[in-house]
Structure 1
Amino acid sequence: MLVLAFALVRPTAGATEEGLTCTDFWTIAGFALEQHRVDYANTAQVKRLYTAAKRRALQAVGAAEVLSKKELETLVGSTDTSEEAKQCVRFEDMRGRLEAAGATVDLEALLSGALDGWLLAMDPHSEYFDRQEYKKYKDGMEGKAVSIGITKAETHERGIIVQATQSGTSAAELLRIGDIVFRADGKELRGMGVAEIKRLLENGNEGSKVVLTVRRDNRTLEVALTREAVEVDYISTHRIPGMEEICYLQLKKFALKTSNRFRRAFQAMNETRSCKALIVDLTYNGGGRGSEEVGIAGQLVKGPFAGHVSYRNELSHMPFDQAEPITEVPVVVMVNGFSASASEMFAATMHDYQRALLVGNTTFGKGTGQTPYTPEMLQEILHIEVPGMVKITRQYFHGPAGDTPQGKGVAPHLVYRSVEEERRRQERIAKAKAAGVKPVLAEKDYEGALPPNSITVEGFSAKNDLSKVIEHLGKGGSDNDWGFGEDGGVDRQFAKKFPEVANAATIARGYARLCPTYTTCSFDNNWW
């Protein structure tokens, strides 16, 4: 890697300046160059990062409100990466120009923006989290979230009907089951979906309030709920009416303790229903902890590893740590274009071992992994004290056979694009259009997304072969009771309300019936 004048500076141990400083910025910038999956080996590439840093810094402090476009471009234009830049003369100049124009500039906000701009210019997933963002990220990965406490709701023509609340929250205290929520902070909820309303109600910091207008027993009430940090169980199980023998498990995120909860959830279902097949629903699951993904895959697959990780010039494996996986139950995995990252690694593992049928739509296409550097880690490694966290893309993930989801996703065996998925795609397109930006519907749509990068894995071959099952189910089979695309015994009202799940259940029952004929039903060894 080219060593520039501002290359990695490590202050002496015990540095205690509060907040993010100019020295911290350049120290972390140099550290990112050392650690990133891409080797930034020439001055032109680094100048591009520096320009992006300055542009983002100005955006972070609202410079466009007090400076003309020409003045902004003058401040951004210099790409000097000399000792002068390392000493933050350029950032001080920015602050001076803004304050001369009448703005009050928070230097930490300016530098936070600069660091975020530098990292995001490296790739779309390297980034800096300030104090509040870091707390939110940490809570999410630990299975916590800021919530008002409504855990289950049903659509209503005016908004939502409350069906369940989490104990200990203000929703549990102030709302009742059956309440119709039709307004939030004065905003009408008519025509909005449950997911969209949930995002609106929970979009705020811990401790903030949202005032709901509620219809209860022919009365209209106003209820002020407080957003609180609550522990979230990202796993839920549901009965499928008409197909109780098909066990369904929805996995919303790979958070801390998810693999343990997966085991307990399956055991509980299997004890009461003797599962003939298992559906794992990863639709709209954006990923999470890779270690939890490996832990869950290891409960279903008997083999040496869940996949591989490649660094610049290194390759390592992700071994399973599960001694006794579930080997007697056929598995169907539901995926779509919103399944990303760790979800895609799980899908790739199940696909490469031929352990599961994948149903739905091609996944998002994020096959890179990021290493989070917490304030404690930055203190230990770089001897600096910063209030936030740095996340750096350091590796590609590869399935057991060596392919990566990066830039192309994991394709399902049987395609099914739902009405709800298409609605969310169109919603994302409309929001991007309103903001004047390009919509991101897949990883490849990001500016600066890393290219695919597959590896060769010698000697890997899946023992199971699902090709005949896929061919049969893809044609619809000859038994209309479970043919592909038919409701196949699923309660019709349920199928109308949850068509994606009904479709997956139909396929799962067909798979369970076919596997003795076309493939093994014992998955006690998934590789040669």
Structure 2
Amino acid sequence: MKKYLSIMSLCLITLVAYSQSTQEENLKPKIYFGDEARLAVQILDTYHYRKISLNDSLSAVILKEYIETLDNNKSYFLKSDIAEFQEYSTQLDDLTKEGNVFPAYTIYDRFKQRFDERMDYVYGTLLDYDFDFTIDEYYDTDRSELEYAENTEELNDLWRKILKSQVLSLKLNGKADSSINKTIVTRYDRFKKAISQYNSEDIFELYLNTIAEAYDPHSNYFSPKTSDRFQQNMSLSLEGIGARLQTDNDFTKVVEILPGGPAMKSDLIHPDDRIIGVAQGEDGEMVDVIGWRIDDVVQLIKGPKGTTVRLEIIPAESGVYGASKTISLVRDKIKLEDMQAKAEVVPVTRNGRQYQFGVITLPSFYMDFEAYQKGDVDYNSTTRDVKRLIEELETKNIDGLMIDLRNNGGGSLAEAIDLTGLFIKDGPVVQVKNSSNKIELGEDVDDKVIYDGPLTVMINRFSASASEIFAGAIQDYGRGVVLGETSFGKGTVQSVIDLGRYLNVPEGEKVGQLKLTLQKFYRVTGSSTQHKGVDPDINFPSAFSAEEFGESSRPSALPWDQIKGTKYKPTDQVTQKMLAEVSKEYRDRLQNDRHLKDLISETEELKKSISTTRISLNQEERQREIAEAEKRRTEQSAMEGAKIGKEGIYEVNNIDVDDKYLREGLVVLSDIVSAIG
């Protein structure tokens, strides 16, 4: 299975300090780091939901994860290094509890030694390359299941293939030989500089974060610098192109497209696309950013509102080293109102019958607490906004309503509860269990129902947390039909503790913050949303497996479990008979409907690209693969552009026809309305 570090781990690898001096001697921990680590472990052992202690077993996990954090693709360490580190596999727990964090620095010193050896090899041998691109050989971009190299010769051969693949990718993207050489040299110069800037605090942060994530993937350690920068980035993230990024090996990968931003409005860049170059304006020089630190890439992409940035990207469907393309985006500031709930009426013609459907797109579960506390009667909140939108939609005589929660990562728990209350009379919405096994109910106490008509909720793999609470409650109450993909599976609650409140450190020094998991969500049926997520009533084609893109991809994720269900009164609006009828209609369309067949083909193509990690270093073979993929995309586009006039093919008007999931969701909604009669 492909190895994915958590977003926090990936950021920590790259968010390093701007030190003015290079490392001339081995890094050492600051005098108070041991006390800080000991305190963090005491808090984790005492208060973490999981109620586990740092022991020999967890020590072995931490060692493995720390090594992978430093060398996540087995490109630096030798097998002998790993064997040597095993002396710590049952010692890290005891040493950390004693305030000894020296193993983190010992292992890092060896990594730095191996890194310098690799750079010496690259600069001394490979940059004077004369690669033969007619040979049939391959490079594995994912080495997580492979062994570490036995010796330097094996590592040399691996790095020869790494550089050969990079050069071939540049050649296939039309770069001249002189330009390729300059790009590669610049790339490795920056790579060396980034590693040389690691300081003692950075190593401690990597290590303590690895310890925290061993308890569960949402427990983390933030150094003072990272905490400040994280808050800064959170505020700055609303300016620029509107995309969240993370490091994936040497690439900058798009993680999320923010609602209302230039990226979303353009529809030119999508999650899992890789950014390999950034240029300013319409004619600025394209700067290669492979191997760059994430914050440096972000600084290049950000800029004043109204200015243009050009990005060279490798689309997700092209694979890791597929053909790139250049896109232009005009920077803008994402306004708060662009991130709020939005509604539209979509006319649908289905089997000769015309419908008017309301679609409410909900990017997050938000509430303006500051305005609420000030007594502002017009404060923004998810529930207030959706209530207003529903009332507006009903004046237009809608036949059904869809709540679109795709890519909604959650937010306010209170808003998820209140929003559910717009659709049910009253009753429990979620159960929240703490580490002491105490269970609290989150209830809707208002018996008013704002909308009682046909309802669907659309989710995907990236719908999480509060989205899962809402979708699960609508499903459990039989109030609406849930469509789409199985959701992410984040059913836990975290809290941040400032370690500085409990430690005395030298004047002028600061300590970090610890985020740890304290609670867990359960549906009214007693089933947890953790790990398992919410399974739709009707599953749409998906390219994203839970094992690689959901909570299940995290080895330390808390497990799914079940508690006693609470008393609640389901509605009778979604009956088994109706759901069976609608499901049959959908299964029939899977066999006969061209739109759905196209969607299945696209998801299978994307799934194949994501899973393909063995790439050819033969130029003709790579060109053939790229040409075939482009041919399939061109044929797909041509089929989509053809006029639809055959019996059984539905029409959807006034909607972006590229959004095939929304189109199919509206067709299912029309089947629901028809089944209700």
Quickly name the TM-score band, shorter chain normalised: 0.5 to 0.7
- Contact 1:144–1:230 (CA under 8 A) maintained in structure 2: no
- Partner residue in 2 for 1:346: 470
Instruction: Answer yes or no: is 1:40 the counterpart of 2:55.
Output: no
Seen in structure 2, the aligned counterparts of structure 1 residues 120 and 474 have a Cα distance that, compared at 3 Å, is same
Alpha-carbon shift at residue 326 of structure 1 (Å): 1.6
Instruction: Answer yes or no: is 1:471 the counterpart of 2:580.
Output: yes
- 2:339 aligned counterpart, secondary structure: coil
- 1:410 aligned counterpart, secondary structure: coil
Alpha-carbon shift at residue 58 of structure 1 (Å): 5.2
- Partner residue in 2 for 1:290: 413
| 1:490 aligned to which of 652, 660, 665 | 652
Cα offsets for 1:196-240 (capped at 9, x unmatched): xxxx999615984596359xxxxxx99897787864515333332
- 1:409 aligned counterpart, secondary structure: coil
Alpha-carbon shift at residue 37 of structure 1 (Å): 2.0
- 2:42 aligned counterpart, secondary structure: helix
- Partner residue in 1 for 2:641: none
- 2:298 aligned counterpart, secondary structure: coil
Instruction: Answer yes or no: is 1:308 the counterpart of 2:318.
Output: no
How many percent identity over aligned positions? 18
| 2:479 aligned to which of 355, 367, 380 | 355
Letter in 2 for 1:252: P
Seen in structure 2, the aligned counterparts of structure 1 residues 42 and 91 have a Cα distance that, compared at 3 Å, is closer
- Contact 1:308–1:315 (CA under 8 A) maintained in structure 2: yes
Q: How do 1:43-122 and structure 2 match up within 5 A? A: 43-48=55-60, 50-52=62-64, 55=67, 70-71=80-81, 74-75=84-85, 77-78=87-88, 79-80=90-91, 81-82=93-94, 85-91=98-104, 105-122=198-215
Q: How do 1:79-478 and structure 2 match up within 5 A? A: 79-80=90-91, 81-82=93-94, 85-91=98-104, 105-130=198-223, 134=227, 145-148=238-241, 150=262, 152-154=264-266, 185=286, 204-205=298-299, 208-209=302-303, 212-213=309-310, 231=336, 233-242=339-348, 245-257=356-368, 258-260=381-383, 262-263=385-386, 266-267=389-390, 269-270=392-393, 272-312=395-435, 313-320=437-444, 322=446, 324-364=448-488, 366-373=489-496, 375=498, 378-380=499-501, 389-417=513-541, 421-422=542-543, 425=544, 440-466=548-574, 467-476=576-585
Seen in structure 2, the aligned counterparts of structure 1 residues 496 and 42 have a Cα distance that, compared at 3 Å, is closer
Letter in 1 for 2:438: E
- Contact 1:52–1:121 (CA under 8 A) maintained in structure 2: no
- 2:481 aligned counterpart, secondary structure: strand
Structure 1: distance between partners of 2:357 and 2:504: 54
Alpha-carbon shift at residue 476 of structure 1 (Å): 3.0
- Contact 2:347–2:356 (CA under 8 A) maintained in structure 1: no
Aligned residues: 437
Alpha-carbon shift at residue 354 of structure 1 (Å): 1.0
- Contact 1:367–1:404 (CA under 8 A) maintained in structure 2: no
Structure 2: segments with no counterpart, 5+ residues: 1-29, 117-195, 242-260, 271-279, 312-325, 349-353, 369-380, 597-647
Structure 2: distance between partners of 1:287 and 1:183: 38
- Contact 1:146–1:206 (CA under 8 A) maintained in structure 2: no
Alpha-carbon shift at residue 468 of structure 1 (Å): 2.5
Structure 2: distance between partners of 1:105 and 1:142: 25
- 2:457 aligned counterpart, secondary structure: strand
Cα offsets for 1:159-213 (capped at 9, x unmatched): 89xxxxxxxxxxxxx99xxxxx89994689xxxxxxxxxxx99961598459635
- 1:118 aligned counterpart, secondary structure: helix
Structure 1: distance between partners of 2:515 and 2:266: 37
Alpha-carbon shift at residue 108 of structure 1 (Å): 0.7
TM-score, normalization by structure 1:
0.67
Alpha-carbon shift at residue 259 of structure 1 (Å): 1.5
Alpha-carbon shift at residue 508 of structure 1 (Å): 2.4
Letter in 2 for 1:245: Q
Structure 1: distance between partners of 2:332 and 2:504: 36
Seen in structure 2, the aligned counterparts of structure 1 residues 130 and 468 have a Cα distance that, compared at 3 Å, is farther
- 1:238 aligned counterpart, secondary structure: strand
Alpha-carbon shift at residue 448 of structure 1 (Å): 2.7
- Contact 1:330–1:356 (CA under 8 A) maintained in structure 2: yes
- 1:497 aligned counterpart, secondary structure: coil
Cα offsets for 1:221-278 (capped at 9, x unmatched): 9989778786451533333244673110112233444524643652464265243321
- Partner residue in 2 for 1:507: 668
Structure 1: distance between partners of 2:366 and 2:232: 10
Seen in structure 2, the aligned counterparts of structure 1 residues 472 and 396 have a Cα distance that, compared at 3 Å, is same
Alpha-carbon shift at residue 46 of structure 1 (Å): 4.1
Structure 2: distance between partners of 1:139 and 1:373: 17
Structure 1: distance between partners of 2:657 and 2:296: 29
Alpha-carbon shift at residue 373 of structure 1 (Å): 0.2
Richer in helix (by share): 2
- Contact 1:146–1:227 (CA under 8 A) maintained in structure 2: yes
Alpha-carbon shift at residue 287 of structure 1 (Å): 2.9
Structure 2: distance between partners of 1:295 and 1:142: 27
Alpha-carbon shift at residue 135 of structure 1 (Å): 5.8
Alpha-carbon shift at residue 150 of structure 1 (Å): 1.5
Seen in structure 2, the aligned counterparts of structure 1 residues 118 and 255 have a Cα distance that, compared at 3 Å, is farther
What RMSD, in angstroms, separates the aligned Cα atoms of the two structures? 4.7
- 1:86 aligned counterpart, secondary structure: coil
Alpha-carbon shift at residue 403 of structure 1 (Å): 1.0
Structure 1: segments with no counterpart, 5+ residues: 1-17, 161-173, 176-180, 189-199, 215-220, 430-437, 518-528
- 2:238 aligned counterpart, secondary structure: strand
Seen in structure 2, the aligned counterparts of structure 1 residues 154 and 325 have a Cα distance that, compared at 3 Å, is same
- Partner residue in 1 for 2:40: 28
Structure 1: distance between partners of 2:554 and 2:331: 35
